[in-house]
Amino acid sequence: MTENVWGYRETSGRSQGVDLTGFKVEAADGGIGKVDKHSDEVGSAYIVVDTGPWIFGKEVLLPAGTVTRIDVDDEKIYVDRTKGQIKNAPEFHRDKHLQDEGYHAEIGTYYGIGGPFGGSPI
């Protein structure tokens, strides 16, 4: 288990330079939407998923550590969380997520070691 929820797993298949925008995102129990935005910044990598009508047009921020596999050919990203876990995550704030360290820590705690999924492999 990695302690850095903000970094891609070595086994995810993440290739630098591949634009993930528009890739479909699959939770452990089904599709949740498409990638609207992503970052490969070291120590702060993430994907923002537009959930469309699934959660009334809500966007969710998923740290890169939740990504288990990226299939470039099928343009799909697989994450190790269920729809319910993602739906119950702290609300995504587009304006705050890059500037507010408290918000960044809240998301990291929710998905990481100190959060409700601390026992699950990340």
What pLDDT shows up at residue 2?
A: 41
Q: Is the model's pLDDT at 6 over the cut of 80?
A: yes
Q: Give 13's contacts (C-beta < 8 A, 6+ positions apart).
A: 69, 70, 71, 72
pLDDT band at 96 (very low <50, low <70, confident <90, very high): confident
What pLDDT shows up at residue 119?
A: 41
Residue with more model confidence, 110 or 99: 110
Kindly state the average pLDDT of the residues 74-97. 89
CATH class of the domain defined by 10-111: mainly beta
Mean pLDDT, all residues of the chain: 85
Q: Are strands 67-71 and 76-79 parallel, antiparallel or unpaired?
A: antiparallel
Q: What is the pTM of this model?
A: 0.86
Q: Is the model's pLDDT at 1 over the cut of 50?
A: no
* Domain extents in the chain: 10-111
Residues 49 and 25: beta-carbon distance below 8 Å: yes
pLDDT tens digits, residue range 36-68? 999 998 888 999 999 988 777 788 999 999 999
